[in-house]
Chain A
Amino acid sequence: MNFPANLKYTKSHEWVKNLDGGIVEIGITDYAQKELGDIVYVELPQIGDALKADASFANIESVKIVSEIFSPITGTVKEINAALNDAPDSINKSPYDAWLIRAEGKIPEGKLLTAEEYQAQLS
């Protein structure tokens, strides 16, 4: 499994990438996509929706299970990855490219883990 060092991670298996202008990109980790199995549907929020840290903002459905995705950030949805509507399995194929949302807001202090810290808590 792959955990890029330039990303930050949550205990609940989301990854966070800092983009320019205070925007972050959020997706699910390689570990999470593997646990879910074949992903067949992604229920995304809408642009402008409010996000609350630790609250669910999306649902990912695999053939096995439906799983809630939790926000690492308190803020607002700026963009959604609409390409996932037609190709939800791109999360299985390339979890760090298949982002779910881009958002703006505040990440609570001490919330995010480094790649190393995230990997350590998996074992």
Chain B
Amino acid sequence: MEKKTPLYQWHESHGGRIVPFAGYLLPVQYETGVIAEHNAVREKAGLFDVSHMGEFVIRGKDALSNLQRIFTNDFTNMTKGRVRYTPMCNESGGVIDDMVVCKMEEERYLLVVNAANRDKDAAWIKGHLEGSASFEDISETLAQIAIQGPASPLILSAISKTIPEKYYTLVENGEAAGIPCIISRTGYTGETGFELYCKPADAEKLWDKLLEAGKNDGLIPCGLGARDTLRLEASMPLYGHEMDDTVTPFEAGLSSAVRMDKPDFIGKAALTGKEKPPRTRVGLRITGRGIAREGALILYQGKTIGKTSSGNFCPFLKEAYAMALVDSSITKPGTPVGVDVRNRIIEAEICTLPFYKKGQN
């Protein structure tokens, strides 16, 4: 039985087309459609219900040493209010999940994890905590709303005096329209934007206040469909697509979030010497006619060199793109390849990531 977010009634009564996703019932789109929602985020602003995301708290004297050991990134130089992206690996160097770690206080960290991995992550972290550190899953106590797009700072500042000024920072005791919330300057769309965490009981009011504040600046509600095309266009990896527990962060192109210079972390031994893996995440621009989605084989000079991990039509760029894991010897941008889509070979070329970068066009 899928769970409903605190905004479920709102989505249903406002034309949201509801689908099951990661154990929740969420809108895939509203009446406006995926393309209009996608372009609203690129050009103006969009509002997303991301209450399905999981939130954990790790606290205690040994909180930091546990983070250092359980995750691949380095948190030692983080100051209060900073947010940092990190993979979490198993002993063989495969990715269990990717998440953001927020430093709330010296001995207290908030982790935001993928909904589908919440139970698996909780079990793994709890099973590996050492010393004086506690773990708490607070997902049910928080709703999460993301406002994304170039107009989002303007819209949010109309109802909030506590917005973080720098990318990847947060304000814990923030407020918007008088509603207490954590406001973090983060997102998953490739645009400027914020993620607001509030009590479930306040979610609908906060959602309405944001929509009202943004109505003259083009803010519209957006569904999971646009969330996925936006993150693809910005070439952001998604767990279960670009990475899973059989893919290393190096293969997924996440080496900047893996600090091999740390004394130790789970997976380090297995990852040692694998910094240059035999397969790598690349971008593909579809130059022929068609769309390559996940799982399509990639051919180069008659040989299979890999498989697409995500792909779709990118509405803002108006071209089809895909991300793929391919043989590391064939990653030069411009290399022509074929993609097998339902037994038809579509022409494509390897291209640089990201497909879209803020401020483009």
Interface residues of A (CB under 8 A from B): 37-38, 40-41, 43, 59, 61-64, 66, 85
Q: Which of B34, B289, B342, B344 contacts A38 (CB 8 A)?
A: B34
Q: Which of A37, A38, A41, A85 contacts B291 (CB 8 A)?
A: A41
Known: A63-B35, A63-B312, A64-B28. A41 touches B293 (CB 8 A): no
Would you give the shortest CB distance from B294 to chain A, in whole angstroms?
Answer: 11
Q: CB distance A63 to B313 under 8 Å?
A: yes
Q: CB distance A64 to B225 under 8 Å?
A: yes
Q: CB distance B293 to A66 under 8 Å?
A: yes
For A41, the chain B residues whose CB sits under 8 A away are 289-291, 313, 320
For A63, the chain B residues whose CB sits under 8 A away are 34-35, 38, 225, 229, 312-313, 315
For B29, the chain A residues whose CB sits under 8 A away are 37, 64
The chain A residue with its CB closest to the CB of B315 is A63
Q: Which 6 A-B pairs have the closest CB atoms?
A: A40-B313, A38-B35, A63-B34, A38-B33, A61-B291, A41-B291
Q: CB distance A64 to B290 under 8 Å?
A: no
Q: CB distance B290 to A37 under 8 Å?
A: no
Q: CB distance A59 to B225 under 8 Å?
A: no
Would you give the shortest CB distance from A49 to chain B, in whole angstroms?
Answer: 14
Overall SS of chain B's interface: mixed
CA distance A43 to B291 in the complex (A): 10
Q: Which of A37, A61, A66 contacts B33 (CB 8 A)?
A: A37
For A85, the chain B residues whose CB sits under 8 A away are 289
For A40, the chain B residues whose CB sits under 8 A away are 35, 291, 313, 320
27 A-B residue pairs with Cβ-Cβ distance under 8 Å, sorted by A, are: A37-B29, A37-B34, A37-B225, A38-B33, A38-B34, A38-B315, A40-B35, A40-B313, A41-B289, A41-B290, A41-B291, A41-B313, A41-B320, A43-B290, A43-B344, A59-B342, A61-B290, A61-B313, A63-B34, A63-B38, A63-B315, A64-B28, A64-B29, A64-B225, A66-B291, A66-B293, A85-B289
Mask: chain B, 296-314; 1 = CB below 8 Å from A; 0 = not: 0000000000000000110
Apart from A37-B34, A41-B320, A63-B38: 7 A-B pairs, beta carbons within 8 A: A37-B29, A37-B225, A38-B33, A38-B315, A40-B320, A41-B290, A63-B35
For A43, the chain B residues whose CB sits under 8 A away are 290, 344
CA distance A41 to B342 in the complex (A): 14
For B315, the chain A residues whose CB sits under 8 A away are 38, 63
CA distance A63 to B320 in the complex (A): 10
For A37, the chain B residues whose CB sits under 8 A away are 29, 33-34, 225
Q: Which of A59, A62, A63, A64 has the most CB atoms of chain B within a 10 A radius of its CB? A: A63
Would you give the shortest CB distance from A33 to chain B, in whole angstroms?
Answer: 11
Mask: chain B, 207-243; 1 = CB below 8 Å from A; 0 = not: 0000000000000000001000100000000000000
For A61, the chain B residues whose CB sits under 8 A away are 290-291, 313
The chain A residue with its CB closest to the CB of B31 is A34
CA distance A43 to B289 in the complex (A): 9
CA distance A96 to B307 in the complex (A): 37
The chain B residue with its CB closest to the CB of A40 is B313
Q: For window 15-38 of chain B, which residues contact chain A by CB distance below 8 Å?
A: 28-29, 33-35, 38
Would you give the shortest CB distance from A81 to chain B, in whole angstroms?
Answer: 15
CA distance A63 to B313 in the complex (A): 6
The chain A residue with its CB closest to the CB of B29 is A37
For A59, the chain B residues whose CB sits under 8 A away are 342
Q: For window 320-361 of chain B, which residues contact chain A by CB distance below 8 Å?
A: 320, 342, 344
For B290, the chain A residues whose CB sits under 8 A away are 41, 43, 61
